[in-house]
Amino acid sequence: MRVLRYLLIFIPVSLITEFLHFSQPLVFVFSALAIIPLAGIMGESTEAISHFAGNRIGGFLNATFGNATELIIAFFAMKAGLFDVVKASIAGSVIGNILLVLGLSMLAGGLKYKTQHFNQKVINVTASMLLFAVIGLTIPAVFTHTVPSQLLNTRYEGLSVIVAVIMLLIYVLSLVFSFFTHKDLYAVETAEEAAPKWSLKTAIIILVISTVFIGIESEIFVGTVEPMTKAMGLSEFFVGIILVPIIGNAAEHSTAVLMALKNKMNVAIEIALGSSLQIILFVTPVLIFLSLMFSPMSIIFNTFELVALLFSVLIANRVASDGESNWLEGVQLIAAYIILAASFFIL
């Protein structure tokens, strides 16, 4: 989305306002607006590099760094001790991808084309892995929520690490599945027909620079969350589950909608569901491992997050099961997101 580029102006704006100790809610907004185009540029540079790296390694790079922005924001939030914001933003990314991104794509595409079709087999693999991943995430939480809290917390951390290891293993195996043993399944649906606009060297330089700036902006952004929530009367939970994911995923979201408008539903759905899957199977375990450097973060989500995750995944599976989409399905997904967001807001 070329138009997002104009938001780059918010990099200097956010830096200056932060430096001059402007009101924190203002800095919050500016740094958020700065992250949006940076995430887009980082994504494009990763794609360009992937193009040079050949199909397999390229696909791997793309898959692994696709959610780098979320990872960086979450890392700084974790460093600042905002564990609840981190976990809320993980859940919110998945929910937002499934309900909002998929919903907007199906609505936008469905208004242009009466019925849109997608490769049921591929999407089924992703949707079914998503169900597994969310259930895997839910199991330890259900157990710890029902057990009296006198049990030692270290146990939960042990369980979190076990689950994280299993998730990461499944992630690696899913890459083996899609790039090696069953790669023909995925043969049809490549998004990238265009030649990359940058040379490999330029792409790497752009990747490094955008990553550095995302880091800087994320640290500023995270630092403003607490004063901003107090000033605005919002809960940190709401910021984590609704605002952070929208900021971190804005670039991706617009790509998905664009693809739907081009009637490339395979790509649109794969962006939404694949990205969700990556967040659970890759970003979450990595964050759990990184947290061991500071103070260990457990993988235990709260009831709201789990219910929202489970419902989102059930809906995703239902919507994906027939290989077709229309505008009404899109509306339903968006409506579910709005009901969720309203509930989170009112909490």
Which residues of the chain form contacts with a second copy (CB under 8 A)? 114-115, 121, 124-125, 128-129, 131-132, 135-136, 138-140, 142-143, 146-147, 155, 158-159, 162-163, 166, 169-170, 173-174, 177, 181-182, 303-304, 307-308, 311, 314-315, 317-319, 321-322, 326-329, 331-332, 335-336, 338-340, 342-344, 346-347
Nearer to a second copy, 70 or 329 (CB): 329
Nearer to a second copy, 185 or 204 (CB): 185
CB 283 within 8 A of CB 90: yes
CB 280 within 8 A of CB 98: no
Amino acid at 114: K
Nearer to a second copy, 214 or 280 (CB): 280
Rounded to a whole number of angstroms, the minimum distance from the CB of residue 142 to a second copy is: 5
Distance, CA of 188 to chain centre: 24
Rounded to a whole number of angstroms, the minimum distance from the CB of residue 248 to a second copy is: 23
Rounded to a whole number of angstroms, the minimum distance from the CB of residue 310 to a second copy is: 10
Nearer to a second copy, 28 or 237 (CB): 237
Rounded to a whole number of angstroms, the minimum distance from the CB of residue 332 to a second copy is: 4
CB 206 within 8 A of CB 41: yes
- Buried b / exposed e over 34-56, threshold 16 CB at 10 Å, is bbbbbbbbbbbbbbbbbbbeeee
- Report which secondary-structure segment, H or E, holds 325: strand 324-325
Rounded to a whole number of angstroms, the minimum distance from the CB of residue 69 to a second copy is: 27
Rounded to a whole number of angstroms, the minimum distance from the CB of residue 111 to a second copy is: 9
Listed residue (255, 296, 12, 277) closest to 162, CA to CA:
296
Nearer to a second copy, 43 or 330 (CB): 330
CB 309 within 8 A of CB 95: yes
Listed residue (18, 67, 10, 37) closest to 220, CA to CA:
18
- Separation of alpha carbons 147 and 159, rounded Å: 14
Nearer to a second copy, 16 or 147 (CB): 147
